[in-house]
Structure 1
Amino acid sequence: MAAPSDFQVLSEKTLHHTADPTLISYCPSMELVALVTTDQQVLIYRLNGQRVYGTTQKAGNLRVASIRWKPNGQLLAIAWSDGSVRLVGAESSKIVHQFSASNEVSDITCMGWATNLTNRSTSSVKQNKISDSWNSILSADGPDGLLDLPRDLSLIDIETSLPKLSVLAAGGTEDVFSSRSSLDALFRAFDPRDNNAIDVMAVGTAQGTIHLSIYDSFVIGSFASPALPESATSRLVLHASHRQYSTHSLLLKTYISGAPLYFVPMDLRFISASSTDSDGKFLSNINETLAEKDNRDIVQALYHSVATGHTFPSVREWLVDELSERGHKRWDKAVTTGLENLRRLVHENMLPALERCSLILSRFSGIAKFQGSNSSLGFTNQQISLIMDTVACLHLISSKILIQVVDELELFTSFSSWLRYEIDRLASDSSASLADDAAEKEASIDHSKVLLYLQTAMTSSPLAVYLGDSPEAFTDTWSHAEHGMPMYDMLDKQLQKQERGLPFIKSLPRVEVLCGLLTQHASTIFSQIAEAEKRNVLFGKAYEVGLAEASAPIHMRITAKSKSVCETHIAYVPEVSKSIVVRIVLTMESGISSLQSISSSSLQLGSGIIKDLKIWDDNEILLLWESNSSTSLLNVSYTSASSDGFIMRYSPHTSKENGPTPIILSDDEVRRQFSRYKLSEQLSFVPEKLEIRERNPGTEEEDSRRVLLLAKDRLHYRVLKFAIPDALSSGTGDEDISMT
């Protein structure tokens, strides 16, 4: 074997607190390292050591249970010991979503996040194989050569056609809608390469459940872990998947001391009130005074002043002594700010969001019509039509609110100008120059608008029809909606009655009621979709793998052999100097896997100790091996198609007794055969833990793989890159579409 080559050190970092060696993860698409310290801080660093994200421990004695990058590197999932999972944007450092993996407080034992390709390619006809001949397209081999118009129409990019959402005012430290960067993390630009990919997250809990969700936030549901021969509660300890297969590999273990590991295949066959209260706050005192002295209210008194120019003594005293210039400014600012905020929210947030909903729902409607009533989508066109009707109702109400806010703002501006003029006139003397100024100001006031404001919006805003609390039960509204009857025409008629001053159903125009109906309809459809997909999650039979040493490293990887055959390799350490690789071959048909064979091979690496291991790619295992106070990084080929002269001998697997007969090598043979890369021999840095980033087939780099080594003191880590191309591991591996 050739002399060992050196690594290129890309980064070296010294931490302020010791890191948890089991909670380190390298970003798949960017040069970012996420880790958790022993004081329960989650930190993300660039290669230059700059911290880009940090969060402290949650309330109580909670700890971080697991961290996992999304396969495209855009989000980091942080699982806590109370069963909650937070998704953090890598670019915005904002929490874009949070959910609980269990109905009860339960620790999380494992979290996996994978990307699965759907059965068909991104386009019905590969772009580099498009032919000018229609006949040649129709005669293309395989189903990918045929046009699929409904699918291609459903994958058209409409993001640029959707109204752009504006940010909302911050409502808290974790408000995802309060910044442009966090909004962009939620609604990312469309990438055609993502068309045929589904992101699947599997979270195992200490209660023995497996929580599944797709597309970052859509929950499929929780499943009880498959029964094991010990008939005890099992927990998920490791998860692996491959982009090309809908079958995921699960490694389970019971809580019984000395219990072995079990392999189980999992088949996924689905692949604001301030603006409306301001007037009352400023008018409460004068209303009480007028009621006691003059048997009238402030609206009548001010209407009298506008119409006749005469001001009652009580009103004069209130305007000059109580309200005065300062009070008027506060009043004007409170009402104007409230109405302008409401106008901005409706115009920049509510209406664009409803338009986006309408466009997206139209695509759902098209899918439902095409699939027919017997499909397993989980929703029908009638249900989508009912939601679209509710969205149309909200759109109508929002338009009415916007018109009313603009009108009320205009009327209040005239009223505020008149009120300021009245305060100045009553507080000033009667000199000729001041009288001329007052006459000029009065001439600029539209008194008709002042009177209209007093009549319509002074004490009760017309907006209360849409935003106020409903004084009656929602029986009529709910019963109408529950019977699946459209509400738009009914709402339009009720609004016409309200405008004519006739009795109307007061609960129907309420935004709160309509949003409640929309939530109810959407929740029903989401639950039906989740239930339909849940029926397509199948767990296979459990197969015993073997007994691993306590706290020993375990790793699992799926490799593709053909369209219908895959291999799952499980590498673990039953003893300090020996490693076992179990090879499980599965065949897939119609999304259901079946066992073809189980074999295993064992390798004893001299007298050294295996500190950590990772299945590096489709050919090799990377091991951190310590012997005679010296640590080496070993590359061990685990396939029969090895190019380094070493071949793992597999035999039918048995977990009984001592397992397969090991291949025994001396320390010198281990170094000569497997030590292909030389680590630094500095005594100040002794590696103890290994983390890797696999090759990304979508990058232009000749080798995008990375190796992260955590020192024994757990305060230092290094990021390494291959100094020269790795000739023995330069196989194509996965050639799927990149998610970066």
Structure 2
Amino acid sequence: MARNAQPSLPLISEKVFSGSTKPASSDLVAYCDAHDLIAIAAETHDVVVYRITGHPAFAIKRRNGEAEVTALEWKHDGSVLAVGWSDGTYGLYSGENGRLLSQGSVRGGARERAWTLSLAPDYGDDEDEDAGPVVTRFGWEWHVTSLSSKSRHAAGNLDTQRSTEAWCEEKHLDVDTGEYVDHATVDGRETIADLSAAVATLDVTQVLPRLSAIPSHGLRSGPDGSKFGTQATTDSVFAAPTKKSLHVDALFVCSSEGSVQVLQDETVRIGTASVGGWKPLLHASHEKTSCHSILSLDEGGALHASFMELPLDTLGGPLLDVIATNTKRIQNLLAYITQTVRCIQHDFTAGLQFPARIMTNMNTELAEKQEGDVITNLYHLAMTSDFTPTMLEWLVDIVKETNHKRWDQAVNAMYANIQNHIFFNLMPALNRLSIATTTLRGHARFHEGTSKFEVAPEVLTYMLEGIDSLRLVAHKIQLIIMTEHRQFRAFSKWLRVMIEIGVAGPGSKGAIETEEREVPNFDYPLLLAYLKDTMTCSLLTRYIAELPDLGVLSSASQDAEFFALPLIARMGYDRTREALGLVSELKSDQELVWKEVPHEPGALVSLPALTGYLAANVRVAVDRITGWQSKMLVAPASVPIGAPPEAIVLDMHMVVDADALSTSSIIRLLMMPPETRQQLLLYSIACPPAGAGISNGEQPIVLDTDHEVLDAKFSGPRDCLLLIRNEQGQYAVVSFALPFPPQHVGGDDVGERTMIHAFPVDSGFTPEKLVIGGRTGKTVCLVFGNEGREWKALDLEPMPDVSGDLVSTDDFRGDEDSMRME
């Protein structure tokens, strides 16, 4: 390469935005290493996800137009994008299309869900505009537990359902000796442990048919609608966990008030810890260590590094694996059941809208003419075949063949949809929920009185009562649908013939022929029963329709207050069974009156109310499990960092020193002193229990850069990338060698600088911020500039191959022509 030729990395893409993304002043840019997607907080408060080529993939829109993005982070495999909002909520969105998977909040006050029987979906809106904590940082990590090689072998095969005899006869590879051995030759205690782990994690639901997608038929139903709207998304929600007892999928949600929520498998909440009430700035972790590090800023402007140790062997063990799997399954199944009940309500209401509108208009006309109501007239017509002028006009001009067809399709679709929802969605989900709940209750009973699983079995028993109550009502609805649907088909057939007779003219030859041909085929008992009992008041109403004001009357702020309400205290399987017996003796227009349940006894047989009751019991059970799991979290240990006041924090990462006697983790913090931009401060801090305090005392390693540093990011354990500018205003990306192992200070290679890319001065691009991402074989450096309105994506993979040919930063002093790319 010529002396004046400036180095350049391959340009993957460049993108110019119409609005500002503000990456230079915030960390609201997240790079997906697995799929090369870039999530950016746009000026419109939305999150836009772009492909590496610059083409938009999808957008995440906030329904609350005033909320702004406060944090962004991709999951390690790119399947989920975590987004924090300024109203204290956060959402987990699909990395494929941006649909909302789940949501939570870091505010325990106004944003806390009310205890109510209402099934109104939560769209993620927050009407509370008061200031409060917000999410400042997410932390994903896919941890590998420290199981032995033999335990790893057993755990890695738990997904294959085997008999005990097959397990005993199986051989496995002993990695210590490199030979295949029988289980009988392994230490007895490990053999029993492996067998007990295989039995404990045996998943009987794998032999069950997969749950079907829930067709919403036009219902706007919040995040659950998209979660279960297609078979592919439904399968992804209920996908069987793989590689059991080997990995722990942890999510850290850090809030501005210093609290840290720890979740497993994205939705199973382990507990909440505090980092001293300081504002978290950065998070660092490594898959091979259980320590998570959080850099926080206190009120006085001092920096602190907090270390939180996760009990990986416990969280990844058989018991916790079963509890976490079934807890997540219970939450997903509850959402599935709730969405099914919403769809049943929607189908019931939508199916009766058109017939109700036609009959209401006819009743109004009959009332004006003082000729009774439509039911009386239809009953008279069915019994006598005598058309009154008003009924003849109504059948021929209003109902006619077109509207009769719409009527027939609407009601038939209503009954068919509700029946399918119960048979294909609700009942299978209830069965799976029973299995998951029974599994947890079995462990609760087995470990009762110990600290291994401190959840009262009665909490899960109440859940089973709610499940059984729903199952009873669902069976009753199926029987009613079978009866009413037969009645309606008889009525629809008779109404079609009456329209034909009316069009031909009563008493005409065509009408008489039609009567002779069709009338003998009518099922009059079903027809008259439909006109008398079902046409205006279906028996399904008391089981499906939302009870008036029930959500308001049952609303409470705490679980004790909610379950102390007279109505909630009387709900349960036995009461539902008794109520169904009483209801069967009532007519469709009669209300259930029961002295033992004086207020709203109809809730005992109401599908929405029982679903709300089940949801409340699930919430209590999950809270109890979370409370028990939170006891595993050890209070974070904090280390003050003696950084200069107002020092600029650039980046933090965690490295594992495998050269040490025992693998230890160390966080490295890259900062810039406030008085100069030509130096970098590199702090190395050992994570407990490997050590405490800064490795080199309170003095960081000072790295001289010779040029003004605009931004710097770690690009690996041995180097970092710097975005620099010289005195002439020329910009470049420089690779800066770091000491490795992290504790090492000396060495000729430390501080070696290599310029790997120079920006042409006449390009009109002013670099401001670096974002590094990618994976082995495809590492990318995103350079944002021009006030966040443009990016340039540079391919870093050629860097190791051409490092010997690249010029040093001393060559970064030529004239403007030498800065142009070849």
Matched, 1:693 2:693: no
Distance 2:188 2:783 in 1: 53
SS in structure 2 of the partner of residue 411 of structure 1: helix
Distance verdict in 2 for CA 1:709–1:468, change over 3 Å: closer
Report the alpha carbon displacement of residue 611 of structure 1 after superposing the two structures with TM.
Answer: 2.2
**1:491 matched to which residue of 2?**
576
Confirm whether residue 455 of structure 1 aligns to residue 528 of structure 2: no
Tell me: CA distance 1:304–1:50, structure 2 relative to 1, closer, same or farther (3 Å).
same
2:309 is matched with: 267
| 1:504-523 map, 5 Å | 506-523=602-619
- Deviations 1:338-363, CA, capped at 9 Å, x for gaps: 33332333334323332332333243
User: Counterparts of 1:511 and 1:118 in 2: how far apart (Å)?
Assistant: 44
Q: Residue 147 in 1 paired to residue 194 in 2?
A: yes
Partner residue, 2:17? 15
Q: Who is 2:287 aligned against?
A: 243
- Checking the alignment, whether the CA contact within 8 Å between 2:71 and 2:138 is kept in structure 1 is yes
TM-score of the two chains, using structure 2 as the length reference:
0.73
Of 600-609 and 214-223, more deviation after overlay is shown by 214-223
Identify the match of residue 74 of structure 2 among 69, 74, 77: 69
Correspondence for 1:253: 297
Instruction: Let me know the Cα RMSD of the aligned residues.
Output: 4.0
Equivalent position of 1:204 in the other structure? 254
- Cα deviations across residues 31-67 of structure 1 (Å, max 9, x unaligned)? 2122234454422222232210124576555432221
Change (3 A) 1:266 1:454: same
Aligned partner of 1:49: which letter? G
Matched, 1:52 2:57: yes
How far off its partner does 1:249 sit?
0.9
Q: Does 1:353 align with 2:353?
A: no
| Residue of 674, 677, 685 corresponding to 2:753 | 674
Shift of 1:29: 1.2
Q: CA 1:157 to 1:718, structure 2 compared with 1: closer, same or farther past 3 Å?
A: farther
The answer as to whether partners of 2:68 and 2:85 remain within 8 angstroms in 1 is yes
* SS of match in other structure, 2:604: coil
Matched residues in 2 for 1:402 and 1:307: separation? 30
- Change in Cα spacing, 1:214 to 1:396, as seen in structure 2 (3 Å) is same
Change in CA separation of 1:319 and 1:461 when aligned onto 2, cut-off 3 Å: same
Please, which of 371, 374, 394 is the counterpart of residue 450 of structure 2? 374
Q: Which shifted more, 605-614 or 152-161?
A: 152-161
Give the 3-state SS of the residue equivalent to 1:19 in structure 2.
coil
**CA pair 477-436 structure 1, distance change in 2 beyond 3 A:** farther
Q: Which residue of 2 aligns with 1:721?
A: 796
**Quick check: 1:602 aligned with 2:701?**
yes
Q: In the alignment, which residue of structure 2 is the partner of 1:537?
A: 633
Gaps of 5+ in 1: 228-233, 650-662, 696-701, 729-740
| 1:265-664 correspondence runs (5 A) | 265-269=307-311, 271=315, 272=345, 273-276=349-352, 280-284=356-360, 298-311=374-387, 315-316=391-392, 318-320=394-396, 323-325=399-401, 327-429=403-505, 430-468=507-545, 482=569, 487-501=572-586, 506-547=602-643, 550=646, 552-561=648-657, 565-574=664-673, 575-588=676-689, 595=692, 598-599=695-696, 600-628=699-727, 629-640=730-741, 648-649=745-746
Map Cα deviations across residues 259-281 of structure 1 (whole Å, 9 max, x no partner). 22111222344743243566554
* TM-score (structure 1 length as normaliser): 0.80
TM-fit CA distance, 1:308: 3.7
Percent identity (aligned) = 21
Tell me the residue number matched to 2:779.
705
SS in 1 for 2:194: coil
Contact 1:137 1:145 in 2 (8 A): no
1:226 maps to 2:276: yes
Instruction: Say if 1:325 and 1:605 are closer, same or farther in 2 by CA, change over 3 A.
Output: same
Pairing of 1:9-48 with structure 2 (within 5 A): 9-21=11-23, 22-48=27-53
CA change 1:307–1:122 in 2 (3 A) is farther
Is it true that 1:137 corresponds to 2:186 in the alignment? Answer: yes
Q: Distance in 2 between matches of 1:173 and 1:8?
A: 47
Equivalent position amino acid for 1:138 in 2: D
TM-fit CA distance, 1:311? 4.7
Range that drifts further, 457-466 or 275-284: 275-284
State which drifts further: 456-465 or 313-322.
313-322
Distance in 2, matches of 1:164 and 1:519, equals 20
Supply the AA of the counterpart residue of 1:722. Answer: E
How far the C-alpha of 1:225 sits from its partner, in A, is: 4.0
Deviation at 1:415, TM superposition (A): 0.3
Letter in 1 for 2:186: I
Q: Secondary structure at the match of 1:12?
A: strand
1:165 to 196, 203, 212: 212
Mean Cα deviation higher: 407-416 or 208-217? 208-217
Which residue identity does 1:584 align to in structure 2? I
On the 8 A contact 1:125/1:146 being kept in 2, the answer is no
Q: Which residue of 2 aligns with 1:737?
A: none
User: Is residue 623–residue 635 contact of structure 1 (8 Å, CA) maintained in 2?
Assistant: yes
Q: CA deviation at 1:619?
A: 3.4
**Counterparts in 2 of 1:114 and 1:466: CA distance versus 1, 3 Å:** same
The answer as to whether partners of 1:703 and 1:725 remain within 8 angstroms in 2 is no
Q: Which amino acid aligns with 2:267?
A: S
Letter of the aligned partner of 1:534 in structure 2?
S
* Residues 359 and 68 of structure 1, relative CA distance in 2, 3 Å threshold: same
Amino acid at match of 2:213: S
1:570 Cα deviation from its structure 2 partner: 1.8
- Which residue type is aligned with residue 225 of structure 2? F
Counterpart CA distance in 2 for 1:185 and 1:94 is 15
Which AA in structure 2 matches 1:560? V
Change (3 A) 1:56 1:317: closer
Match of 1:93 in 2: 98
Quote the offset at 1:722 in angstroms.
Answer: 0.9
The Cα offsets for residues 302-346 of structure 1, whole Å up to 9 and x where unpaired, read as 334323434566655654565555554454344334333323333
Residue 212 and residue 322 in structure 1: after superposition, are their counterparts in 2 closer, same or farther (change >3 A)? same
Which of 147, 154, 179 is 1:124 aligned to? 154
Letter of the structure 2 residue corresponding to residue 632 of structure 1: V
Q: Secondary structure at the match of 2:464?
A: helix
Q: Offset of 1:513 from its aligned partner? A: 2.3
Matched-pair contact (CA < 8 Å) for 2:45–2:62:
yes
Which amino acid is the alignment partner of residue 76 of structure 1? L
What amino acid is aligned across from residue 298 of structure 2 in structure 1?
T
Does the aligned pair in 1 maintain the 2:721–2:733 contact within 8 Å? no
Cα deviation, residue 419, structure 1: 1.7
Distance 1:372 1:565, change over 3 A: farther
Paired AA for residue 166 in structure 1: A
Rounded to whole Å, the distance in 1 between the matches of 2:616 and 2:156 is 42
Q: Name whichever of 85-94 and 177-186 sits farther off.
A: 177-186
Alpha-carbon distance change, 466 to 96 in structure 1, aligned in 2, over 3 angstroms: same
Compare the two structures and name the one with the higher strand fraction: 1
Secondary structure of the structure 2 residue equivalent to 1:20: coil
Match of 2:333 in 1: none
In structure 1, what residue type is equivalent to 2:194?
L
